[in-house]
């Protein structure tokens, strides 16, 4: 798979420094300490984490977002650049620190979080190179729920630029979700080809207690498709052409850390769609990516390249893997 097979992809939104340690059974009292087996720092968030995974899968990724003008921001830039991501679209803001999260990872892979929102909401339209967006095959807007006035004042222009270039537009969210966020994000979702929340986020955003009804609410906006991650239960996929959700199960792995599994899913989904796979096959590729991320510590774990992911998928879904490989060949020939 060549580095240009997926083409240029822009990821815009939350760029966060994660500092993770494992295994953490409890926070020691007072001045106590515990020894851990591993501590890592990674570029994370629904833009940065997905961007790193997309770069591993073969996309030429441009990152757009707001960082603080601090050491934490330097670390995010360095972490993304190590994977070949173009970080020239990251704007440094002196008035805030870089968004960051401390994640003490439990032995079962669960991940409580201590988070500083930081500079993420300070991204402005003036920070965005619209010509670069026009040249992208896909635009992922990651964490619009964490962004500031650009949601209303700038993202319509960004989406319009992507559309002018014929790009696929996808949206993912960061926060647990509130109905009032749904009203703010509805125009953006209406303009999107795909929305990829997790189940809890989707239910909280729509105020529903049933995923099928919540998916219908999103499709009623005009969104092209919805891919909902269900954690260990896999995912649901629905679209304007197939409004009845299709369930696909997760792939069992030994879980180390669930941080970034949703970002891995989104990266795999977008990679599959860019290769011309059907939405359900693209979701299978997303499931494989999410499973691989869970096998290591941090959002950049597990995934090596597209060929490795497809080979992993072939262990349980050989027919799907075969179709994706055929899509790869067709894409390379065009």
Cα dihedral angle (185, 278, 199, 231), rounded to 10 degrees? -140
Q: Would you give per-residue pLDDT tens digits along the chain (334 residues)?
A: 344 579 999 999 999 999 999 999 988 999 999 999 999 999 999 999 999 999 999 999 999 999 999 999 999 999 999 999 999 999 999 999 999 999 999 988 888 899 999 999 999 999 999 999 999 999 999 999 999 999 999 999 999 999 999 999 999 999 988 888 999 999 999 999 999 999 999 999 999 999 999 999 999 999 999 999 999 999 999 999 998 999 999 999 999 999 999 999 999 999 999 999 999 999 999 999 999 999 999 999 999 999 999 999 999 999 999 999 988 777 766 6
Residue 229 tokens read as: 């991650």
pLDDT, position 209: 95
pLDDT score recorded for residue 326: 87
pLDDT at position 2: 41
Give the pLDDT score at 328. Answer: 77
Q: Which residues contact 201 (CB under 8 A, 6 or more apart)?
A: 173, 175, 176, 177
Confidence at residue 91, expressed as pLDDT on a 0 to 100 scale = 98
Residue 139: helix, strand or coil by DSSP?
A: strand
| Predicted pLDDT at 333 | 64
Plot region of 275 (φ>0 → left; ψ -120 to 50 → alpha; else → beta): alpha
| pLDDT (0 to 100) of residue 334 | 64
- The pLDDT, as a whole number, for residue 330 is 72
Q: Between β-strands 235-239 and 246-248, what pairing exists: parallel, antiparallel or unpaired?
A: antiparallel
Helix ranges (H only) for the chain are 48-57, 71-81, 130-134, 150-153, 155-164, 179-190, 199-206, 211-221, 261-274, 279-293, 306-314, 318-333
Gap between the Cα atoms of 154 and 162, Å rounded: 13
Structure confidence at residue 111 (pLDDT): 85
């Amino acid at each position: 798979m060549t580095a240009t097979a997926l083409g240029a992809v822009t990821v815009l939104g939350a760029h966060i420094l994660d500092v993770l340690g494992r295994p953490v059974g409890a926070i020691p009292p007072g001045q106590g300490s515990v020894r851990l087996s591993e501590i890592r720092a990674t570029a994370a968030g629904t833009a940065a984490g997905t961007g790193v995974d997309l770069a591993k899968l073969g996309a030429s990724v441009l990152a757009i977002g707001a960082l603080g003008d601090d050491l934490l921001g330097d670390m995010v830039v360095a972490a993304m650049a190590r994977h070949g991501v173009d970080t020239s679209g990251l704007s440094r803001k002196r008035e805030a620190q870089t968004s960051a999260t401390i994640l003490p990872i439990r032995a079962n892979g669960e991940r409580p979080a201590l988070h500083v929102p930081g500079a993420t909401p300070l991204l402005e339209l003036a920070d965005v190179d619209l010509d670069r967006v026009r040249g992208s095959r896909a635009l992922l807007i990651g964490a619009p729920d964490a962004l500031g006035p650009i949601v209303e004042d700038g993202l319509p222009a960004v989406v319009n630029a992507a559309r002018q270039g014929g790009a696929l537009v996808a949206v993912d969210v960061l926060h647990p979700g509130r109905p009032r966020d749904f009203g703010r994000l509805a125009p953006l979702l209406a303009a999107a080809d795909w929305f990829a929340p997790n189940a809890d986020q989707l239910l909280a955003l729509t105020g529903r207690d049933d995923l099928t009804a919540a998916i219908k609410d999103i499709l009623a906006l005009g969104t092209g498709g919805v891919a909902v991650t269900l954690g260990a239960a896999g995912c649901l996929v629905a679209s304007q052409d197939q409004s009845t959700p299709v369930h696909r199960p997760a792939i069992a792995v030994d879980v180390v850390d669930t941080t970034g599994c949703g970002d891995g899913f989104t990266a795999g989904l977008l990679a599959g769609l860019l290769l011309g796979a059907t939405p359900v096959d693209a979701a299978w590729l997303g499931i494989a990516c999410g499973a691989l991320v869970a096998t290591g510590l941090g959002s950049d774990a597990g995934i090596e390249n597209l060929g490795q992911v497809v080979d992993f998928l072939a262990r349980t879904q050989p027919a799907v893997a075969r179709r994706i490989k055929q899509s790869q060949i067709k894409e390379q020939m065009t």
